[in-house]
Amino acid sequence: MRFHFTKIISKIWPIAALPALLFIFQNCGVVRPGVENADYASVSFMHTGQETSCSTCHELSRPNTTVGFIGLDANRPFDYFSHASGTDCVSCHTPQARARTRADWAGGNYVHSPLLTACVSCHSSQRPTTIVNGFNHATSGTGECFSCHQSALKSSFSNISDWSGGASIPATLVWDPSQDISLVAQIPTYMGTSIQSLEDQNQAYHMAMNHKTTQLNPNDLGRCVLCHAGANEGVYLPGEFHPSLSAANLGQPTSCSDCHNSAVRPVGFVGHADVTRNPQSKVMKHDAVVWSKNAAGNYVATATAIINSDCATCHKQPGTAWKSTIYHQSLVAAGLTQPSSCIDCHANSRPSGPVPVVAGAGTTKFDHTNLGGDGDCITCHTNQTAWAGGLFHAAMGKPGTCVSCHEFAAQLDRWLRWTQSQHSI
């Protein structure tokens, strides 16, 4: 009986012990504890060095603190608390033959995604506290680094020089399309020294900005947010220069040519309309040129520009309005020389028919059309702030007859003729 019981036990004990053996020797498919323990240092998994993923085994080993961190480098900022969560370890760490301790993970190099659009969460500590290449980060670079330093994404950021190549202030004229101005200019067609016709032409001009202008204090010029409300977020449009200066109680420029060169000056007649002109036209021609006599004695247009002065000579409301200016009086106020020719602007300013002129010898009438007044106005009108006081004889010499202009002379002539006829003189 005893033998029979022993025989039965000998047959069933391996079956009864099987669960225990499986529990002791199980290996596959079990998630190991995410704890580094020196007691298990003798156990290691030999990596091939060709692994394409680490997170399957090491996700729970991802650090979330700098405590005990090996290779901590203040010059290489990193989000040590999320530790690139969501990124596989192999993206930064080269698999070692073994990975048993923290030291085996040292030397990782975070590779920035080309789709990255933010840097400041990690790199705010690298923001310069002194002016770099004329740029003050403390006042103008307090926003997202990515706005200017997109090229730095390829860097390891091991040195401050890795930030080089940041987009600086524009080196050329730039503009905000929303600030463009449009106007209707009148393009003249000349016949001799008179204007035969005028054609309307739509023109558009950029209100350009020179970010290296000397008209603004460098400290103010370096504060991008002064004119660009979204500069700290990398948004530079819209940008407003003159209104922003007024809002900040800063003085307006005293010169315009840094930004508004000759390319911005309209072509043709612009400004308000003058109904006294014939044909009627607007009053100002920024592209006016000097006229002079050719070999045949006829007036012709030259390539010599008349207007070379800065816009601020006449335009006293920068950024507010271009209108309400007076050209010749502005030159006088600025102590500048008046033009040497009038035809290009005033070819249609000549009166039509005889006009009365008050002269010391009595009432005088002058007909610009028929009596030699179709030349350059400056020949007779030396006072260019008013048409009064024109001197015909001083410029043109003695004419063959006086009666065409001088009514008194005509009356005297008729009286003399009558007297001669009555007295047989």
The domain limits of the chain are: 113-168+218-248, 178-215+253-339, 354-412
Q: Which residue has the higher pLDDT, 67 or 339?
A: 339
Q: Which residues, including other chains, have CB under 8 Å from residue 362's CB and lie 6 or more apart?
A: 406, 407, 408
Average pLDDT over residues 350-358: 75
Whole-number mean pLDDT of the chain? Answer: 75
Torsion of CA 248, 253, 254, 255, to 10 degrees: -170
Count of CB atoms within 10 A of residue 211's CB?
20
pLDDT given at position 156: 63
> pLDDT category, 288, cuts 50, 70, 90?
very high
Average pLDDT over residues 407-416: 55
Side-chain-side CA neighbours of 33 within 13 Å: the count stands at 4
pLDDT given at position 394: 61
List the end-to-end C-alpha distance of the chain, in Å, as a whole number: 191
User: What are the tokens at 237?
Assistant: 């449009």
pLDDT given at position 158: 63
Torsion of CA 407, 413, 415, 419, to 10 degrees: 180
pTM, entire model: 0.55
Angle of CA points 86, 91, 95, to nearest 5°: 120
Phi, psi of 55, rounded to the nearest 5 degrees: -65, -25
Three-state DSSP at 110 gives coil
| 20-29, 285-294, 347-356: least confidently modelled range | 20-29
